[in-house]
Structure 1
Amino acid sequence: IANKEWWVLAALVMMAIPIIIFFGFLFSRPLSSQFSSIARGARQVAQGDFKTRLPMSDKDTDELQALVSDFNTMTTQLGRYELEVSESSAMIAHELRTPLNAAMGRIQGMIDEVFPRDLAQLEMVHRQLNQLNKLVSDLHLLSLASAGQLTLDKTVFSLEKLVAERLSWFATQLDEAGVVVTIDIPQQLTVNADRDRIGQVVNILVENALRYSAMGGELLIVGRARARSMELTVSDRGPGFGSENLEQVFDRFWRAERSRARYSGGSGLGLSIARAICLEHHGTIGVRNRPGGGSVIRLEIPA
């Protein structure tokens, strides 16, 4: 300690400490301010304000910009979920009430002897109750999928045989609508998936084509094996979708033509269910418009 160099070193350290503290405080203020802004935004989100967005600055570090971007993405997604829940609640009430009121009105008419008490009237009531039961089943499936509890019974099966089987169920309707069906799937193409669930997706896509395709339309179903996945595309010659609606077609209760879909029994849940089943298989599903008119729905399931 008595050595002169030690006193010089101590003096330098004592002079450096205030400088380090000053510049540390100077450079940390913007960072502290940004974190305070994030904390305020988080409190607003916690209070239910999902429109909160944080400003992005090019002067921030890459890590801070990534944090702000992720925060804004989170609030956007939360706002979308909130809107979907509120809209779905209203739509569910409406969709359940329509067939229920029709069935109750028919039964009340039979009680009041306004309608005859015969088999024809009971069949009308039965159709309404079937529609109600299907809607409840669809909502139950979507609830299970949202909760991650949709169970799959995976087996290896022929995709061509499955598609042919499901198309046979719609043979009469396809003939009446004048829809020409073309299947292009190799017979040896097999899939390891839940056969019933994938069949349900095929049903939904065929029903969708029947509902919106014009008379004398075309239905092209193509299956291909990729390096690590199976690809199935269903193309029709219907009206297609507006470019602004391509992101909405898989939303619950969304319809391209509400009046026609309701008349033909569509609830607007079909493509939502198809997406839920594909996601449960760790797959993807998308839609695009077909050149010359119509739409192409493409799903891909990992091998």
Structure 2
Amino acid sequence: MGRSIQGKLVVVYLLLIVFSLELIGAYFVRSLNNSLMQSETRTVESQAQLIATMAAPHMNQAKHPGQSVTPILASLPQLVNGTAYILDRQGVVVATSVGQALIGQKRIDSIVTQAIVSHRTTAAIRVDPLSDQHLLQVAVPIDEQGKFVGIVEYVVPVQTIYDTVRQVTTIFYTVSLVALVLTAILTMILSRTITRPVVDVTEQARRMASGDLTQRLAVQSDDEFGALANAINHLADHWASAVAENEQEQERLQAIIKYMGDGVVVLDATLRPVLFNDAALRLFRDPDGDWMDPAQLGLSRETLGASPEGTYIRSVGDALLHVHVTAIRSEGSVDGYVALIRDVTEQERLNQAQRDFVANVSHELRTPLTSIKSYIEVLRERSDMDEGTRQQFLAVIDQETERMVRLTRDLLQLSGLSRTRPGGYRRGVVDVKAWLIAAIDRFQLQAEAQSVAIELDLLDAGTMPGDRDMLDRVLDNLLSNALKYTPAGGRIVLSARVKRNVLEVRVADTGVGIPPEDLPHVFERFYRVDKARSRRKGGSGLGLALVREITELHGGDIRLESRVDGGTTVILTFPLQEDWS
């Protein structure tokens, strides 16, 4: 019975009743006791206050105040149920209602001490150890014209109150026990009535689980249990058709879950999309939010009719999509299709970038190697070549060799910057002013030879964290480019400013500038604005790519502003606090 619903209902109801009775009983008994004690305390305090008022004028008499206040106690017949003491300000008894034996003794009760110290009325209940009776003690201060002159202590037995409360408690719990027994009997009868429909529904559910859908429940009421029986009967009516539909839906759901990593579209036999995931929504909708024609992905009745499964590569807008189609078969016929769509645009872009990189490196190396080979063959075949021509050929070979060395060095440094964390470099504190001045000094002679002025514009530069050697390489590349493309009579300005804890370095020239269509690509490896002219000047197309890598390695940023025949400005920003990532 304890594990059945009926047993649990009985236990729950009984626990609720017991808890309620205990709570009510405790509150009732406590409230009754407090009410009786408060009433008795107020009565005793009023009597003690009356005595204090009557005794106050006599407490300042010179030697024997007790002789004056003793008649006051004798004149109060209401004190027959208690004992009154009149004490001076030191707690010594000067008069009492129980005879003269205690006069002159000092009272050491705690409430007397509290009243003497605080000059306030105090009350407490204690148990007399001799009679085992509860006593109520009240101490009231005696004031005469605002001056504390003594204490009235009034002791009253209150055992009858405790006896009354105990009797009431016994009666209450006796009645509660009888009510608990009757509640248990009624709960068992009621719970049996409630649980009977539950047992019937459980039995019907077991029959349905075993495949028997022929039985129906008898509806005997129009309450919640009757509604439950109707729902079970309705469920049995629709179970058979739901099983077949659920199997088909489960097959579709499994297909979607299987291909959840990419865009998934489930198509019916007419190629109409019926199910799709979020990735498919991003890949397979046009800008207006409508579904695109499946034919754009290579899906048509003709192609799928010839081969229900296949893989297609299609370009849709700016995206390159890899589409894999699988047929959904039901009872030997094709009921629909699942299209797995993968966006391979980024992958193809990376592959193309790798192919372009290899082609560029090959091209850059092939040109100087071809030139070197040609000059070496000429030197080998013409032993009678004059010394001037021979030195000219050797100078060309040296120039082309140096070009390959620079290309190889730039490639190695770029590769190292891509693989290595900042911890692999020498961190230090760079004096910005000294850094900029040293860069100008390195290019001053070359600038004078080209009749180009280099100027320094410096304001509040201070210091910054960084690798001085790598930062020198940044300015060398930028100043070298500025000198290459600034004609005679031009000007290059190297400036530095501190803005909001960020150092901004600018390299501005008055050169030929860069066309707008080339600006988005200038930081790409091997990219040249004027390829023929760049090669003549010894450029590899890696300088700005190297500058960007080093700047970002220092936690900074780089951008470029330029217009044709209007000069170029490269803007570098570096954090002044070390936070390389």
- Do both share a fold (TM > 0.5)? yes
The equivalent of 1:105 in structure 2 is 374
- Give the CA deviation at 1:77: 4.2
**How do 1:198-237 and structure 2 match up within 5 A?**
198-237=471-510
Note if 1:250 corresponds to 2:444. no
Distance 1:297 1:155 in 2: 24
Q: Which amino acid aligns with 1:8?
A: A
User: 1:64-94 CA distances to partner (integer Å, 9 max, x unpaired)?
Assistant: xxxxxxx97xx55444433322222211111
> Which stretch of the first structure deviates more once superposed, 201-210 or 292-301?
292-301
Tell me how far apart the structure 1 counterparts of residues 232 and 551 of structure 2 sit (CA, whole Å): 65
Distance 1:35 1:263, change over 3 A: same
CA drift of 1:295 comes to: 1.3
Q: Residues 178-210 of structure 1, C-alpha deviation per residue, up to 9 Å, x if partnerless? A: 222121123752110111111101011111111
Q: Partners of 2:542 and 2:381 in 1: how far apart?
A: 36
Hey, what does 1:63 align to over in structure 2? none
Identity of aligned residues (%): 25
Superposition RMSD on alpha carbons, in Å? 3.8
Cα gap change, 1:301 to 1:31, in 2 (>3 Å): farther
Alignment match of 2:415 (pick from 132, 143, 168): 143
Pick from 320, 325, 331: which aligns with 1:52?
320
* Deviation digits for residues 71-126 of structure 1 (CA, Å, limit 9, x no counterpart): 97xx5544443332222221111111122222222222222226457655434322
Label 1:236 to 1:13 Cα distance change in 2 as closer, same or farther (>3 A): farther
Q: Distance in 2 between matches of 1:130 and 1:106?
A: 15
Q: Is the 8 A contact 2:513 2:567 kept in 1?
A: yes
Tell me, yes or no, if structure 1 residue 34 matches structure 2 residue 253: no
1:96 and 2:315 matched: no
Distance in 1 separating the partners of 2:517 and 2:377: 44
- 1:259 equivalenced with 2:532 (yes/no): yes
Secondary structure of the residue that 2:438 maps to in structure 1? Answer: helix
Q: Residue in 2 aligned with 1:81?
A: 350
- Letter aligned with residue 416 of structure 2: L
CA contact (8 A) 1:290 1:296 kept: no
Q: What is the rounded CA distance, in whole Å, between the counterparts of 1:8 and 1:110 in structure 2?
A: 108
Unmatched segments (≥5 aa) in structure 1: 55-70
Code of the residue aligned with 1:270 in structure 2: it is G
Where does residue 158 of structure 1 map in the other structure?
Answer: 431
Residue equivalent to 1:128: 400
- Which one of the candidate residues 448, 466, 476 is aligned to 1:175? 448
Q: Which moved more, 1:134-143 or 1:114-123?
A: 114-123
Can you list the C-alpha shifts for 1:139-194, whole angstroms capped at 9, x where unaligned? Answer: 11122233345732111011221122122221222112222212112375211011
Is 1:6 paired with 2:225? Answer: yes
Match of 1:170, SS? helix
Q: TM-score, normalised by structure 2?
A: 0.42
Number of residue pairs aligned between Structure 1 and Structure 2: 279
> How many angstroms does 1:237 deviate by?
1.0
Q: Is the 8 A contact 1:160 1:185 kept in 2?
A: yes
Q: Is the 8 A contact 2:511 2:565 kept in 1?
A: no
Once the two structures are superposed, what CA deviation does each residue of 1:13-41 show, in whole Å capped at 9, x if it has no partner?
8869999x99x99xx98894135737999
Q: Which structure dedicates a bigger proportion of its chain to strand? A: 2
Task: Give the SS at the match of 1:282.
Answer: coil
Q: Give the greater-gyration-radius structure (CA).
A: 2
| Paired residues of 1:179 and 1:216 also in contact (CA < 8 A) | yes
Q: Which one has a larger percent helix, Structure 1 or Structure 2?
A: 1
Instruction: Summarize the Cα distance change of 1:119–1:239 in structure 2 as closer, same or farther, 3 Å threshold.
Output: closer
Kept after mapping to 1: 8 A contact 2:555/2:574: yes
Cα separation, 2, equivalents of 1:247 and 1:121: 39
1:193, 1:281 within 8 Å by CA — same for their partners in 2? yes
> Shift of the alpha carbon at 1:244?
1.9
Q: TM-score, normalised by structure 1?
A: 0.77
Deviation at 1:52, TM superposition (A): 2.2
Q: Report the equivalent of 2:543.
A: 270
Compute the displacement of 1:11 (Å).
4.5
Residues 120 and 224 of structure 1: is their aligned pair in 2 closer, same or farther, counting only changes over 3 Å? same
The letter of the residue matching 1:101 is T
Could you tell me how far apart the structure 1 residues matched to 2:233 and 2:405 are?
A: 81
What code does the residue aligned with 1:52 have? L
1:106 maps to amino acid = Y
Could you tell me how far 1:229 is from its partner in structure 2? 2.4
How far does residue 214 in structure 1 lie from its aligned partner after superposition? Answer: 2.1
